[in-house]
């Protein structure tokens, strides 16, 4: 059965406490768009220079290892079939402390094999401080 699950790998001192992540549709459809809605609480401002490291594995095999500039994505960079948007505030401005709602839209390729993947996301601030570290388990068996 296709679906997603997630866990937080971070610590209580991370800059962003992730409260929920919702995937729509929960059973992803290949060649369609997947919406990931994250809600959380920023303990400190999240500033320009924040990077997102993404690693995708199938078992022990690393399929993808990529680094993104968070604010370039928020400013509208749509490369790699992925866009980011904040529910409040300008895309290029620092994210102030407080409630945060982030939406990620991902265009899923049509040729993804049916498998259970592991995706680790590590977010680091401009000074390499830990911001958040969620892990995802996309189950794409159909």
Q: Which residue has the higher pLDDT, 135 or 80?
A: 135
Q: What pLDDT score was predicted for residue 90? A: 61
Q: Is residue 20 part of a domain?
A: yes
pLDDT tier for residue 81 given thresholds of 50, 70 and 90: confident
Q: Is residue 1 part of a domain?
A: no
Q: What pLDDT score was predicted for residue 10? A: 86
Q: Is residue 140 part of a domain?
A: no
Whole-angstrom distance, CA of residue 43 vs CA of residue 36:
22
Domain count of the chain? Answer: 1
Q: Is residue 133 part of a domain?
A: no
Q: What pLDDT score was predicted for residue 54? A: 94
| Tens digits of residue pLDDT in 27-46 | 778 888 889 999 999 999 99
Q: What pLDDT score was predicted for residue 89? A: 61
Q: What pLDDT score was predicted for residue 51? A: 95
CATH number at residue 114: 2.70.220.10
| Tens digits of residue pLDDT in 20-29 | 999 998 877 8
Q: What pLDDT score was predicted for residue 1? A: 45
Question: What share of the chain in percent tops pLDDT 90?
Answer: 52
Whole-angstrom distance, CA of residue 24 vs CA of residue 3:
10
pLDDT tier for residue 61 given thresholds of 50, 70 and 90: very high
Q: Is residue 142 part of a domain?
A: no
Q: Is residue 138 part of a domain?
A: no
Q: What pLDDT score was predicted for residue 76? A: 84
Q: Is residue 51 part of a domain?
A: yes
Which residues, 6 or more positions from 70, have their beta carbon under 8 angstroms from its beta carbon? 46, 50, 51, 52, 84, 123
* Structural domain of 19: 6-125
Q: Is residue 117 part of a domain?
A: yes
């Amino acid at each position: 059965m296709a679906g997603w699950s997630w866990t937080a790998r971070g610590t209580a001192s991370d800059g962003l406490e992730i409260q929920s992540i919702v995937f729509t549709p929960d059973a992803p459809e290949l060649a369609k768009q997947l919406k990931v809605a994250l809600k959380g609480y920023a303990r400190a401002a999240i500033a320009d220079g924040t990077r997102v490291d993404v690693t995708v594995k199938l078992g022990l095999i690393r399929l993808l290892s990529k680094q993104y500039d968070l604010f370039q994505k928020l400013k509208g960079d749509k490369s790699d079939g992925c866009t980011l948007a904040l529910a409040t505030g300008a895309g290029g401005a620092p994210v102030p402390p407080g409630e945060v709602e982030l939406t990620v839209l991902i265009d899923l390729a049509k040729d993804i094999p049916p498998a259970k993947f592991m995706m680790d996301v590590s977010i680091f601030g401009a000074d390499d401080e830990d911001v958040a570290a969620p892990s995802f388990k996309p189950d794409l068996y159909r």
